[in-house]
Amino acid sequence: MTVKEAIETRRSVRKFKSTPIEDEKLIAVLEAGRLSPSARNQQQWKFFVVRDRAILEKLYVASENQPSVQSAPAALVAVATGDIQMACGGHTSAIDTSIAFAYMLLRAWELGLGTCWLGRFHEDQVKAALNLPADNTVVAFTPLGYPDETPEPRPRKDASEIYQII
């Protein structure tokens, strides 16, 4: 699968098989994040693959009981460990960690794994479940596993509404 194919075919998966994920695939997903770019090459992030059922249950509660978190054999959590305000005003904690997370989701898809970037979770509960320091920021969180569904593509705005070549 090419990067283009991964971008075009990736879908948010909310139903997962109970099949365990091979360690080699987990490492490949984590490596995609590790190798992603960051401002000033600071790499101020940590990535967690959670397979422990007790911690997954805490993440399920932290996600306001989203069924996909409970049904997946694992979860992937991206955490910013520092922050720099760039000259443009953006904060590296959110930007860099989101870039890395997007790389990981595309790599996961390439390897046959499904994800669904969650925007509904209680950061304090995720931090408690993972025993994270107070100064860390949970940026992104997804269930991770082999899809047990084939979601249809979602509609996209026309290109003329999104970009211009000037």
In terms of Cβ atoms closer than 10 Å to its own Cβ (0-12, 13-18, 19+), residue 77 is buried
Share of the chain above pLDDT 70, in %: 100
Nearest-10 crossing angle of helices 53-62, 123-130: 170
Strands 45-50 and 114-115: unpaired
Residue 164's pLDDT band (cuts 50, 70, 90): very high
The full length of the chain comes to 166
Contact criterion met (CB below 8 Å) for 72 and 16 = yes
Q: Which CATH class is domain 17-146?
A: alpha beta
Domains in the chain: boundaries? 17-146
- What tens digit of pLDDT does each residue of 18-75 get? 999 999 999 999 999 999 999 999 999 999 999 999 999 999 999 999 999 999 999 9
Kindly state the average pLDDT of the residues 122-132: 98
